[in-house]
Amino acid sequence: MIQKSPYKFFLLTFLLIALDQGVKLAVHHYMAPGFAGQVKVAGDWLKLHYVLNPGMAFGMQLGHEYGKLLLSIFRLFAMVGIGYYLVNLAHRGAPNGLLWAMAMILAGAVGNVIDSTFYGVFLNNAPYGSPTPWFHGQVIDMIFVDVWEGFIPEWVPVWGGQYYSTPIFNVADSCIFVGVCIILFFQRRFFGEPPIEDSLLPVTGPDATEASVLPASELLDEKPAPKPAKEDSETPIDDSQQPTPESVWPEEPKRSE
């Protein structure tokens, strides 16, 4: 496979990060949080709804004083790992669809890392009582697909008796979701068997450094092997065994007078 440059895929990552941050900052400065600032985009099922997410996806949190800090550090390592994996895939000549999907996932990871790292300082949205505003920023979510909302029945374990609505997410979450779906739907094409032309090529070849060279003295001592004697195609015929005219055409018997 031919190696590919990862720069065009990183360009898509940069554009998606810029879009994600632009939408988040616009929502923060021009929308009121909660239902008061909710904006309908497409009927009653697609809305813009400004909320702050203090933890992981769907608002889940780590029940520890430094849980948010650990989550932010984990996101940083995940961001670096995804970027390295994207470069490695490009150098190995991976399919373009897989590289575009990884670029989208990287954009989503970086977008949420920016929120967690800097928003607690520059937007002052760190949760109350945080040890430090750094790495404790809350992620801004705004895309609300209002399919269903209401109170869950009491008999439902864990979530019973609580108010629930479909998750509210952002552009970065959408990039991660779409990128993962592309990889899942086309995984056989992305990670299937290599083409026949590539599979027929030898995996390893001879190494020139391991070639052995005979000394000149051994080459001089070697004598060419004797050639086998050629057999004559024509075998000499003995004259005594050659047929005579008499043997071929016998004489007629003489008539008695």
Q: Is 146 a catalytic residue?
A: no
Instruction: Tell me the three state secondary structure of residue 97.
Output: helix
CA distance 187 to 181: 10
CA distance 114 to 107: 11
Helix (H) or strand (E) holding 168: strand 168-169
Q: Is 115 a catalytic residue?
A: no
Q: Which of 20, 44, 115, 141 is catalytic?
A: 141
CA distance 26 to 31: 8
Q: What is the maximal distance between C-alpha atoms in the chain? A: 156
In sequence order, the β-bridge partners of residue 48 are: 39, 143
- Other beta carbons within 10 Å of 165: 13
Q: Which of 20, 146, 173, 238 is catalytic?
A: 173
Residue (of 21, 32, 12, 37) closest to 139 by Cα position: 21
- Other beta carbons within 10 Å of 116: 26
3-state secondary structure 217-252: HHHHHCCCCCCCCCCCCCCCCCHHHCCCHHHHCCCC
Cα 56–chain centre separation = 24
Helices then strands (H, E): number in the chain?
8, 6
Residue (of 65, 51, 91) closest to 173 by Cα position: 51
Catalytic amino acids?
A: 141, 173
